[in-house]
A and B are shown apart, each in its own frame.
Chain A
Amino acid sequence: MASAIEVNRLTKRYREVVAVDDLSFTVRPGRVTGFLGPNGAGKTTTLRVVLGLVTASSGAATIGGRRYRRIPRPLREVGASLEATSFHPGRTGLDHLRVQATAGGVPRARVPVVLEQVGLAGAADRRVGAYSLGMRQRLGLAAALLGDPGVLVLDEPINGLDPEGIRWVRSLLRALAAEGRTVLVSSHVLSEVEQAVDDLVVIDRGRSVYQGPIGGLVPAHPRVVVDADRRAELAEALGSRVVGATDEGALLVEGIDVGEVGRIAFSAGLALTHLSAETRGLEGGFLELIRGAES
């Protein structure tokens, strides 16, 4: 059983700026947890506190009940990939992993295994300076997987990947969680990770604005888009349920579903030119949350 990540009343202050503000959440094993928020929301700072790189002003972050710095051979328990730029440009990908394996007490035999796993075996002998951003992401993932850890912390692992690479990372995340591992993956774009995550922790300006299963993020007030040639009559028939209009002038209706809108129009004798549920989906719910936090 892999360890859980627990962030407990974490606050990080930099002189005047509060980067993380009394943040608490738990990341459970066997699930992929998306850590979302706009750029500058405090995601990276939080992850760096979890990994012992940054000291918290107050509160704590633990993995399996221990602070990262107290874990004897952390690479064997926690794999992390933070930035695609944290490599010496003059060192080969192979040597980077060899250094990490040596420093982390991970058997050298793991190096070719993870290189194969991320699809970098062919480029292992090239200097990282010659790698594309996508290749660096893959090398970062290889380093995270090196110790075969039960816990994975990945900061924006999809940045810079091509569509094929994005699909690959998504399926990798799913596979890791299916093996019972704890997977925490940050992103500033929900749609990037939407198909791969089970749970979400959404933060904005250092504060938690949503925690729970991804299904809970659907917009609180689903709306229907409807239009007819005789738009004014349609609006009259729908009455106070019309809450606005789209850019094209179609009516936005709230409080009733698509079927009910169709029945109302039919009984009023109006032929509809458009009828659909508004497709804001999860991204809409996500944006709604962040907008809500702003106001």
Chain B
Amino acid sequence: MGRSVAAEFLRVLSTRIWWILALVLFGYAAFVAAFLALFLGDLGTLLGGGTNLPPRSVADLVYSTATSVGYLVPVLLGALIVTTEHRNGTLTPTLLAEPRRGVVVAGKAIAGAAFGALYGIVGLLASVGIGAVVLAAGGGDPLLGSAETWGLVVRALVAMAIWGLIGVGLGGLVANQVVAIVLLLVFTQFLEPILRLVGAVWEWSAEVGKFLPGAASDALVGAGLFGSLGALDPSAAGMHSVALSWWAGGLVLAGLAAVLLVLSRVTTWRRDVA
């Protein structure tokens, strides 16, 4: 098992995509966090805008951008860990070195979770690092001494690790790299946002919508862009914003990862490698 995990780390580290994704994640999370901190923090008030959100909500919103916009990166890498092997035919040497497919899948899952957590660190360095600086620049309190802030940081790391697992499960199920990437982009960037938006219109649909993976992830972390829509935009105030408790969100997300991993193991991972 240890050999498979070590080999999986080498596989990722010996190609370029992992650090390209890390750079993209850092830049994107830093930009969104800085933007939110600027307009929602005291600096925004100084500039004549701003909201009357309490500092706690602002900090949560700013810091959680690491996951609320960054979760696509670990899930993408997780999917690539598997689909790259199908795409380049490297599944053959992989299975020659370790023919027990369950061990290979477990190695990939562990690597996916570990890189997910690594991306969590990268994303938080951007969202907390840059976000806190911007919040403090306006004279506001970045709440870095608060236990709640560090609770969010830890839960964000857990969420990113689970997103890595989800990627490995999805990639294993789909196998085709292009299909996996398109599915991920369509679902996370288009389908789920629409479902969450529409879901928030009625009370019953909001009760269903809170189980969507992105909503569960925001629930686990404790904050997210979507859940705060009502607070950000007065016209959205009538929307039903329902969220799972953080542990229920974590269970939903972990359950999704488990289902995808098991499904992929008993279907695509069983196939002949020709």
Give A residues with C-beta under 8 Å from B: 44-45, 48, 51-55, 68-69, 71, 74-75, 78, 80, 82-83, 85-92, 95-96, 98-100, 102-105, 143
Contacts and interface: CB of A to CB of B under 8 A. Distances in A.
Contact of B92 (A68, A83, A98, A103): A83
Interface in B80-98: 84, 88-90, 92-98
Contacts of A75: 96-97
A86 B272 contact: no
Interface residues of B, number: 25
Contact of A104 (B98, B272, B274): B98
Contact of B96 (A44, A55, A80, A102): A80
* A contacts with B: majority SS: mixed
A68 B89 CA distance: 19
B272 A103 contact: no
B97 A91 contact: no
Contact of A53 (B7, B84, B274): B274
Q: Sorted from nearest, which 7 A-B pairs have the closest CB atoms?
A: A103-B7, A103-B97, A95-B14, A104-B97, A86-B89, A54-B272, A69-B99
A68 B100 CA distance: 10
Nearest to A102: B7
B92 A53 contact: yes
Contact of B99 (A52, A86, A95): A52
Nearest to B13: A95
Q: Which of B3, B4, B14 has the most CB of A within 10 A?
A: B14
Contacts of A96: 14, 93
Contacts of B4: 103
A75 B96 CA distance: 7
A284 B274 CA distance: 32
A67 B86 CA distance: 24
A88 B84 contact: yes
A96 B13 CA distance: 11
Interface string B95-113: 1111110000000000000
Contacts of B11: 88, 91, 99
12 contacts: A74-B97, A82-B92, A86-B89, A86-B90, A87-B89, A88-B11, A88-B15, A91-B14, A91-B15, A100-B97, A103-B6, A104-B96
B24 interface: no
A87 B94 contact: no
Contact of A45 (B10, B95, B274): B274
A78 B15 CA distance: 27
B14 A48 contact: no
Interface in B226-274: 272-274
Contacts of A54: 272-274
B100 A69 contact: yes
Q: Which of B4, B97, B100 has the most CB of A within 10 A?
A: B97
